[in-house]
Structure 1
Amino acid sequence: MQLLPVPFFKALSDPTRLKLVLLLRQHETLCVCDLTEILEQPQPTVSRHLNHLKRAGILSSERKGTWIWYRLEQSMPTWCQNVITSIETDDSLSLPNPSLSSSLEQPCC
């Protein structure tokens, strides 16, 4: 699947989806239960955003038992990776409280 600029930027235009992408960049793989806790949003909302990102070709997923773990698509073109990296370094973007990441040391699933 070729990642095209318009769907890529449309997918990242939503603040929740952008935060999901940046969180997955920081933590490599996360499950929905981790993401709902970090973002303080209901599971159906987070799942809907994750599916949108997956359909756009930005995320991939892997089922482990009853849980689905998400990560950035490893075959994403370099230009997409560069965009995500440049956004990640923007201090004006407020990511969820970094102290919450310590709760990720113990998997919730």
Structure 2
Amino acid sequence: MITPPEVFKSLADETRARATLLIATQGELCVCELMCALDDSQPKISRHLAQLRSNGLLLDRRQGQWVYYRLNPALPAWVHDILRTTAQANADWLKNNASRLQHMDGRPVRDAACC
């Protein structure tokens, strides 16, 4: 079970906070989408995503050449509530990131879920 200090420590970095809130609002995103949205390098984004995954906030899956990240559905409701409230209250803070993502050329196409 994830604890409040673990959640807040994970989100204390701006890159991790932005990535987590984008995933919380946009749904599953791949590394390339987060690179575009956050305007940062693949190694930096991947390092932060790996930390969020190891802390239990995110899960990943591979689809061909793409690695997608999503919120861990096993997170307690209070974590989802914090992320939803924070994203809604800070839409302006994420506006440029969401805009870059929306206008990204060559976004990967997700396979339809089979189950």
Residue in 1 aligned with 2:4?
5
Match of 1:95, SS state, is helix
AA of the residue aligned to 1:76 = L
Instruction: Return the alpha-carbon distance in structure 1 between the equivalents of residues 9 and 92 of structure 2.
Output: 17
Structure 1 residues not aligned, in runs of 5+: none
C-alpha distance 93-3 of structure 1, shift in aligned 2 (>3 A): farther
Matches within 5 A, 1:57-68: 57-68=56-67
Out of 42-51 and 81-90, give the one that drifted further. Answer: 81-90
Number of corresponding residues: 108
Relative to the length of structure 1, the TM-score reads 0.88
How far residue 91 of structure 1 moved from its aligned partner, in angstroms, is 3.3
AA of the residue aligned to 1:32 = V
Matches within 5 A, 1:90-109: 90-91=89-90, 94-97=93-96, 98-103=98-103, 106-108=106-108
Q: Is the 8 A contact 1:36 1:42 kept in 2?
A: yes
The C-alpha deviation readout for 1:11-36, integer Å capped at 9, x for no partner, is 01111101001100121111111110
Between the aligned residues of both structures, percent identity stands at 32
Residue in 2 aligned with 1:33?
32
Structure 2 residues not aligned, in runs of 5+: 110-115
Q: Is the 8 A contact 1:59 1:72 kept in 2?
A: yes
Q: Is the 8 A contact 2:36 2:101 kept in 1?
A: no
Matches within 5 A, 1:40-51: 40-51=39-50
Instruction: Return the alpha-carbon distance in structure 2 between the equivalents of residues 83 and 62 of structure 1.
Output: 24
Q: Root-mean-square deviation (CA), in Å?
A: 2.0
Relative to the length of structure 2, the TM-score reads 0.83
Residue in 2 aligned with 1:83?
82
